[in-house]
Structure 1
Amino acid sequence: MNDTQFDSIIHAPNRLQICALLSPLEDAEFQFIRDQLGVSDSVLSKHVKQLEDAGYVKQRKENANGRQRTWLYLTEAGRKAFKGHVAKLMRIVDSTVR
């Protein structure tokens, strides 16, 4: 990420929240993320697809009790991009709070 720009993929509020929820975790179930954001499956799927296309998030699917469950996790590139984006936001906040 360029030091003078935001990461436009991460910056959208729902995608920022997805990254923030996943960053301290190894992975999280799709339904958990959906419920935390208060969005529909289709809205979350669209945001996850954009993060996947950027190489920031991956999905893992597994069957449990006859039902397929989807787990999301940040890739190493996703963790690095999220950390850089948050650092940029913090620099902006720090410069305006003084």
Structure 2
Amino acid sequence: MNHVLSYISLPKIELNGTNPSNYVIRTQPTDGCLSTVESAALVLSHLENDESIYEKLTNPLIALCDFQLSFGAVSHHSKEFLIMNGLYTKPLTKRIQQKLSNKQDIKQLIR
């Protein structure tokens, strides 16, 4: 049983202050969210102390998005951006409405 739960004792990595995602053809929950490949590239480039790793691993994602955009896909803003700028068209939960009216952060509610 211990080997099944051994992953719980692994160190946690948290990415803070990242640039906006290059995965522009998908609506991210918040402005700081990254795709899996971007997250992995960021961690690997940090661990290896080599900025070029991030670029090499994310270039295919950028090319994919550019290709999709050239065929009519549209660039998306995050759900957080849409809500904060009054552009979100779906109904908001009462908790989000309450936090907005109190000018509180909503990031934890929309992830």
TM-score by length of 2: 0.26
* Greater Rg over alpha carbons, structure: 2
More helix by share: 1
More strand by share: 1
TM-score by length of 1: 0.29
